[in-house]
Structure 1
């Protein structure tokens, strides 16, 4: 809405009868009755001026309320300088403050908006930012997202954890990608500290060496051994060089010069001598198997659910693929199941699974629906999935007053928190409990 049209709408609303909420929306980014302006974005290269209304933003944010009406009267000027916030993020924040909605989230501005929400103590906006990131997160963008998420681990830990879970089970191509070489040192450190990476140590070593080479190029540094070690810093010691074979060592860090001669000698002695020298590098193999995972699945339009169930993308735990399985068990009820779609090579196996199946409402004021299952999964085909044929009725699900589905597109968010025990060999008999 342009400034002139906003002022026109505001004048018409004053002359007629308008709801308070509609009146507030009309004056967003309009100088009509504004009593404060913000000069935003100097640190980002361009300043944009935003008119606003102290009473409205003061009502929504404790920080702004303190600035305008509390203990910081010196901050209460007609023009406030906000140099560290990007203008797009500030516009998103004002949209939330005035309308309870943000329509301009993008991959490029969502973390700036999250920073804005944290700075001005807007927890619901922070939740909206988090939901947007998680809803668009996948293997193609998880490294880029991680590079931002490591800086916001304190305020949005679920983003960081979801990124790391994806990287845990990522294919080799992710480690060899340009995106991996573009992440910062803190993101690299966070990844290499993981004990649950499924990549082998040779793949990790090669990726780290390539990251150091590309980082030197970005910093206009020669790719010498000394410079590559400098950009890596102590991150180098998170790599399990002693876990490489002699051939992998010769073709990798020996050939590229990433390791010092003294370090290579110590590694060789550690691998082959009876008396092993101390080493600064990782020496224990990574578990490569995590026992927990979280599966998220958004049903695009629950009105189109069929009796033929749909599967979410797989998530790995204990090197098995786990999915959300959802569909109309009957015309009246929605079925919601945890499904295992892969099996170990053993002819006889079983593992105990405890899981919480969750329906995550669109309306944040509506409590999630949570149901527990405990199930012994085995190679017997009857044990491939377990859950509830009547998790929720279609009548309740489609009731707009319940707040379960997004009214804009009728989408539904489902989630399962899964804990898988280690395998045990047995007769594949199934047992279960559910609440």
Structure 2
């Protein structure tokens, strides 16, 4: 990421979006799907990275917006998407937004019983389409990719019980509504090609079981991005195609909802060393960033980092601990063993941090950091650092 980036110009801590990396991910996924399917939609997962500039750029690159709340829907509309470029998922749809989306041509996947009841309030003289979410238990469908013996989902309608069949019957009883799609989003930790092959095969069996005449299959997200030693977009697309072809369903429009696959590698995070302290067993490096920004769940065990030093040569020291600037004792990021000593002013770059970071960064001690964009036109600030003014803008004192 640092190539073409003037480290002296950026004010840390900050995120940097590499627009070419972002665009490449979209275009490679598009090429893979185009190779196998007549019709497909790539829908950018807004929840994964809801930075307005990124949401708008995804549209420029040809994506729809996949949203899971009224707030995300309003953000997508504000970023230039039309209602027909929206995939509306999740249980947190309000009645008014749900009906508006259905009536104005969004792809709306029914998630709850109340949404089925709302469908009955659509104008009787209209013709409307919806999809329905099918619950996926990974332990049953792809046990090699499961977490435990009952890796069930709390989302969608379950076909092991009568939830799914009852939901189908209820939707079919509404004259002005046609069931047009099936939504099967589920993420496995393995992100394996085998997993997608298995869940699509399961979806195909359900489509055949109920003799559903659909326009689309929404496979959801959870894919690896462009990484070494990881499945490629073409391998995912081929697996989905093969599972559908076996059931004669390969002509369905395929919807994918990538988030991590598009944003992770496109963003880096930069923080500077602001202080060093010599402890009995190590050197403690305090940086102006925080683990809150790059690992909001505090689960990561390692990071992809690159260190940019102001001095070319430095003494090798046994142990350095890199810490953040918050008051939390455990705001520690990683250790450097037998590496040249870092100095105040040195910059640390954390790579592949674009997924579920900016959307989950807390307003703790330091407010939202700056975000820059790097493109062929150069570098620009796309979100300034939040201050007390932005934090207080909706408050009454």
TM-score interval w.r.t. the shorter chain?
Answer: under 0.3
With the length of structure 2 as denominator, give the TM-score of the two structures: 0.26
Q: Which has the larger radius of gyration?
A: 1
With the length of structure 1 as denominator, give the TM-score of the two structures: 0.24
Select the structure with the greater relative contact order (CA < 8 A; seq sep ≥ 6): 2
Larger strand proportion, structure 1 or 2?
2
